Amino acid sequence: MKFRLALVILVIALQWVKGQNPIVPAGLYIADPSAHVWKDGKMYVYGSRDESPKYYCSWDHYVLSSSDLINWEITKNAFASKGPNDQVPYSDDKLYAPDCMYKDGTWYLYYCLANSRNTEGVATSKSPLGPFINGKVIDTKGINEIDPCVFMDDDGQTYYIWGQFNAKMAKLKPNMTEIDQSTIKDSVVTEKEHFFHEGGYMVKRNGIYYFIYTHMGRANRATCIGYSTSKSPMGPFKYGGVIIDNDHCDPAVWNNHGSIVEMNHQWYVFYHRSTHGCVTMRKACIEPIHFNEDGSIPEVEMTTQGAGKPLKASTRIEAERACLLFGNVRVMDFEKDKEDLEGIYNEDKAGYKYIDFGNGVNRFTVNVMAGTKGGVIDLWIDQPWGPSIGSIEIPANVDGKKWETISGKIKGAKGVHALWLRFNASDNESYKLDWFVFGNSDQAGFR
C-alpha cells in the first residue's frame, strides 16, 4: 500500500508549460502526439518520450493536457515498461508511439514495444492521466509491427490500426483488449498508393473517415503528416494530400507523426519536430487547420505561435522556438531544462512565425555566447531575404564561455510579420543564441 501511494503521488506530479510551439518545455522531448478531447472538454496528448540522440523513445510515457491549448500540464510516468513503475511484466523493451481510447469509465492505453516478439499491448486506467496498469499482450496473429491507434465509430464499434509501410486494421472486441482476428485487413493504406509510412490515426467528420499518417511522399523522407479518406472505416481509401511538413525544423529531420482533433469548434493538427541535429530528439507541436467544402484539408505551415496569437515582440522569445532552420543551426540543450540555438555556421538562418511588433520597435536585445571572433546577426521580416530591419554586432568573447546580453538599434518594424535571423560569422559556430526581445529606446531596460 505504501508503494502504491508513493506511485500515485509521483504519477500526478504536474508541471506547467506556457503555450507556443513546441508545446513541451525546454529539456523535455515528446514525439508522436496522439491527441484526444475527452468528455471533460480538455485536450489530452499521448506520445513517446525521447531521451537520447542515440535511440528513439524511452521506457515511459508522459501525458500532456490542456483546457485552452496555451497552458499545458505534464503528467509524468503515466506508464512504464521498465523501472519502479513497470507495468509490462513480460518485457523491458522501449516504448514506441502509443494511443488511448475511452469506454465505459475506463481509459485504454495502447502501446507498442520496440523489438519484442509480442509488440502490441494494452493497459488500463480510471483516469485519462493514468497511471495505466496491468499491461497485457494484444494478439495480432503474428503481425508484429508498430504504432497502434484506435478509432471508435458512431455505433460504438472500435477498430485497431497498426503497421509500417502497409497499414493493418481489425475490429476490437467489446472488451477493448482483444482484436477479432477474423477481421484483420492488410494494406488498408499503402506506401505505394497513399505514401503511408507509419503512425496511423483515424477520425470521422461529416460522414467521411480520415486516415491520418506519417507521409513518405517528399524527398524520400517521412517528414509529412498526410491523409486519405473513405466512406467506410476499413476503406477503400483515396489519397488526400499533405496536412503539414516538418522539413527544415532541423538539419537532420527524418520523420513526423501526429493526429488531428477538434476542440471548441476549431480543428488542429498535432505533429513533432526534430532537434539536436538528430532524428531521435523530437518535440510535439500544434497548428490550426480547416476543411474545404469538399472535405479536403489544405496544407498548413509550421509556426512559432502554434494555437496562440502571434508572439509579442516586447516579450522575451526563446531562440529554440524557431519554426524554420536553414543550414547547420539546430536546437540543443546547454543546461538542465535550458535550450538554445547552436552549431551556427556562416549564413545560417532561423525563422519565427509570427511576431507582433505592435506600433513599432527600434531596439533589439539578444542573449548570446560568443566565441573568440564573434559575428553579426541580420534581421529580416516577411521573407528570409528581406526587407531588412537592421543588424546587431556580436563582439568576440575571450573565453567563449560567458552569456552576454547585447542591445542595438534597428529600423522600426510595425504590425505582424515573420522574423528571420541570418547569422554571419567568420568562423563556423562562432556564437550561440539563447533568447531575444524587441523594444524602444525610451523603454527601461534598453541601453
CATH number for 421: 2.60.120.260
Residue 445 lies in a domain: no
Bin 326: left if φ > 0, else alpha if -120 < ψ < 50, else beta.
Answer: beta
Are residues 164 and 22 part of one domain? yes
255-283 residue pLDDT tens = 999 999 999 999 999 999 999 999 999 99
- What is the pLDDT, as a whole number, of residue 160? 98
Helix (H) or strand (E) holding 10: helix 2-11
The rounded distance, in Å, linking the Cα atoms of 191 and 167 is 9
Residues 434, 368: contact at Cβ < 8 Å? yes
| Cis peptide preceding 131, ω within 30 of 0 | yes
- What is the pLDDT, as a whole number, of residue 398? 66
Number of domains in the chain: 2
Q: Does the structure show a pLDDT above 50 at 446?
A: no
Are residues 278 and 392 part of one domain? no
Residue 300 lies in a domain: no
Return the closest-CA partner of residue 28 out of 37, 17, 42, 40.
Answer: 17
Are residues 134 and 57 part of one domain? yes
Q: Provide the 8-state DSSP code for 216.
A: -
Are residues 345 and 278 part of one domain? no
- What is the pLDDT, as a whole number, of residue 18? 60
Q: Does the structure show a pLDDT above 60 at 414?
A: yes
- What is the pLDDT, as a whole number, of residue 371? 80
- What is the pLDDT, as a whole number, of residue 155? 97
Are residues 360 and 251 part of one domain? no
- What is the pLDDT, as a whole number, of residue 373? 81
Residues 150, 158: contact at Cβ < 8 Å? yes
- The mean pLDDT value for 162-187 works out to 98
| C-alpha grid cell, residue 397 | 568573447
Q: Which of 242, 257, 289 is the last residue of a domain?
A: 289
Are residues 280 and 335 part of one domain? no
Residue 297 lies in a domain: no
Are residues 325 and 276 part of one domain? no
- What is the pLDDT, as a whole number, of residue 116? 84
Residue 299 lies in a domain: no
pTM exceeds 0.85, yes or no: yes
| Mean pLDDT, rounded, of the chain | 93
Q: Does the structure show a pLDDT above 60 at 13?
A: no
The rounded distance, in Å, linking the Cα atoms of 21 and 70 is 10
The rounded distance, in Å, linking the Cα atoms of 13 and 2 is 17
Are residues 326 and 262 part of one domain? no
Q: Does the structure show a pLDDT above 90 at 19?
A: no
359-377 residue pLDDT tens = 999 999 999 998 878 899 9
Residue 106 lies in a domain: yes
The rounded distance, in Å, linking the Cα atoms of 364 and 436 is 7
Output the DSSP codes for 118-179: S-EEEEEESSTT---EEEEE---TT---S--EEEE-TTS-EEEEE-SSB-EEEEBPTTSS-B
| C-alpha grid cell, residue 412 | 522600426
Are residues 374 and 243 part of one domain? no
- What is the pLDDT, as a whole number, of residue 5? 32
Are residues 266 and 317 part of one domain? no
Residue 304 lies in a domain: no
- What is the pLDDT, as a whole number, of residue 221? 96
Residue 67 lies in a domain: yes
% the chain with pLDDT above 90: 87
Are residues 96 and 229 part of one domain? yes
Residue 433 lies in a domain: yes
- The mean pLDDT value for 223-241 works out to 98
pLDDT range class, residue 220, cuts 50, 70, 90: very high
% the chain with pLDDT above 70: 94
The SS3 of residue 279 is coil
CATH of the domain at 83: 2.115.10.20
Q: Which of 289, 319, 353 is the last residue of a domain?
A: 289
Parent domain of 417: 311-439
| Cis peptide preceding 431, ω within 30 of 0 | no
Are residues 95 and 131 part of one domain? yes
Q: Does the structure show a pLDDT above 90 at 441?
A: no
